Structure 1
Amino acid sequence: MATPQNPQPAHRTEHPQSTDTSPAITRAFDLLSKGWNGLILMALAKGPADVTQIRERVPGISNRMLAQRLQELTAIDLVTQDARPGPSSRTRYVLSPHGNAFLIPLAVLFLWAEDHLPASG
């Protein structure tokens, strides 16, 4: 039985724009490289939440860091504020349409990490 001379790899080896760094992908990695951003977005994927609820969904984040990241994510329109009037007025945070769209690559990244990154080490 003959073996093919150039077997195709199980994964793609060609990279788009291998000689240039795409400004778009650079912005995406900048977003994800800031600690907590991905986890905050994943926490808001569970539904609207106030600061206390987000902090419960993202253990270990400080109040200051959470406030800073929420401000940044709101400024780039991945998260919006939903202020509820009333006696116990609280600001809730919700994923914007852009934030919801970003869940697609985050989910793929999550699945890849589950399959390819060791749990420890």
Structure 2
Amino acid sequence: MDPICPRFEKSMQIIGKRWSGLIVHQLMQGPQRFCRIEAALPNLSGRVLSERLKELEQEGIIRRSVYPETPVRIEYSLTDKGLALAPVFREVQKWASEWVEAPAAAEEPDYAP
């Protein structure tokens, strides 16, 4: 059996880290501010979002742009390296549509009046 390529292993660690893939997927829609990303991923805490954004920026996948306005405006967007993940995400979405069952919606209990 062939050993796993170290580059492939690192790439899986980067995009496979909890929330990282969903953050990148959200940014595929275009530049966004922190609060919009946070609102799109309601189960993600602000602290973890901040950590993941920093990590993805360090990896060169996202860009943090600061606009010297009052108040200061900060936007996050994908770099060319991040945008290069688009075909990967499309294929994962295609695979998920075919093979992954949607989670059951939480059912509300029946209450008799």
Offset at 1:23? 1.2
Quote the residue 2:31 is aligned against: 48
Q: How far apart, CA to CA, are the structure 1 residues paired with 2:74 and 2:86?
A: 22
Task: Detail structure 1 runs of 4+ shifted over 4 Å in the superposition.
Answer: none
Quote the residue 1:97 is aligned against: 80
> 1:57-100 CA deviation, whole Å, 9 max, x = no partner?
22211010000000000000000011111112111001001000
Code of the aligned partner of 2:97: E
The number of residues matched between the two structures is 104
Gaps of 5+ in 2: 105-113
Code of the aligned partner of 1:77: G
Structure number, greater radius of gyration: 1
State the TM-score, normalizing by the size of structure 2. 0.85
> Which residue, 17, 22, 46 being the options, matches 1:63?
46
Quote the residue 1:30 is aligned against: 13
Q: How far apart, CA to CA, are the structure 2 residues paired with 1:84 and 1:102?
A: 26
State the TM-score, normalizing by the size of structure 1. 0.80
Aligned residues: percent identity? 26
Quote the residue 2:66 is aligned against: 83
